[in-house]
Each structure stands twice: as structure tokens, then as C-alpha cells.
């Protein structure tokens, strides 16, 4: 049997928010390092092209995230400051957060 192989320098297993953020952050660190070395602002060697892979067992990225209706955008803004301009699929900003009290015998309201 012939198996396809892909050479990678770094592999993140699972394409959830944590690993996607990690992969993006690592790519940014490498890019900034290489630029600083090229401009002579940092000593050391350029890392060149680092192959970063993210593998996911679900059929697509996000397939195994059960929900995602409400998101605190602070971390995403740090990683991708222009995520709104880039077309993040957001429906509306959260203006308030309210959860009614739990009533015994009823399902939790939220």
C-alpha cells in the first residue's frame, strides 16, 4: 500500500480554537523573527519557511465544535485585529447578558 506523506516541522493535532490560535501565533512569531533578522534588528539566523500543519479528525475545521453561539472576541482581536473586516461570520454584537434564575423542576434557562 502506498501512503501519502507530508513533511512538516510542527504539527498541531485537532483544529479547535486552541490549536488554530497556536498555529497562527507561531506563524506570526516566525514571520516577525525572520523579518527582524533580515533587517539586522535581531541576531541569529532566519528560520526560513517552517511548515506548520493542523490536522483534524472531523470532516472540516470546526466540525466538532458543538456550539459557538456567543464569543468573547478579546483573544481573536489579539490574533487577528481586523477579523471583522476580513469577513468573520458574526451575526450581531452582544449588548447585554442575562440569565434568569433557575426554577426547581424546570430545565435550566441557559
Ligand X SMILES: Cc1cc2nc3c(=O)[nH]c(=O)nc-3n(C[C@H](O)[C@H](O)[C@H](O)COP(=O)(O)OP(=O)(O)OC[C@H]3O[C@@H](n4cnc5c(N)ncnc54)[C@H](O)[C@@H]3O)c2cc1C
Specify the residue, 59 or 103, whose C-beta has the smaller distance to ligand X.
59
Q: How far is CA 69 from CA 42, 53, 65, in A?
A: 42, 27, 11
- Closest separation in Å from C-beta 74 to ligand X: 11
Which residues are near ligand X by CB under 6 A? 13-19, 55-58, 64-71
d(CA 24, CA 108): 37
- Closest separation in Å from C-beta 39 to ligand X: 34
Specify the residue, 31 or 64, whose C-beta has the smaller distance to ligand X.
64
d(CA 1, CA 3): 6
- Closest separation in Å from C-beta 45 to ligand X: 32
Specify the residue, 47 or 55, whose C-beta has the smaller distance to ligand X.
55
Q: How far is CA 67 from CA 20, 23, 63, 64, in A?
A: 17, 22, 10, 9
Amino acid at each position: 500500500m502506498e501512503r501519502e506523506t507530508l513533511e512538516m516541522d510542527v504539527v498541531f493535532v485537532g483544529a479547535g480554537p486552541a490549536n488554530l490560535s497556536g498555529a497562527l501565533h507561531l506563524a506570526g512569531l516566525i514571520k516577525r523573527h525572520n523579518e527582524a533578522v533580515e533587517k539586522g534588528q535581531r541576531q541569529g539566523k532566519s528560520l526560513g519557511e517552517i511548515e506548520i500543519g493542523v490536522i483534524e479528525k472531523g470532516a472540516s475545521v470546526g466540525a466538532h465544535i458543538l456550539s459557538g453561539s456567543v464569543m468573547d472576541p478579546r483573544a481573536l482581536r489579539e490574533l487577528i485585529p481586523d477579523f471583522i473586516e476580513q469577513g468573520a461570520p458574526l451575526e450581531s454584537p452582544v449588548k447585554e447578558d442575562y440569565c434568569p434564575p433557575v426554577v426547581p423542576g424546570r430545565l435550566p434557562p441557559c
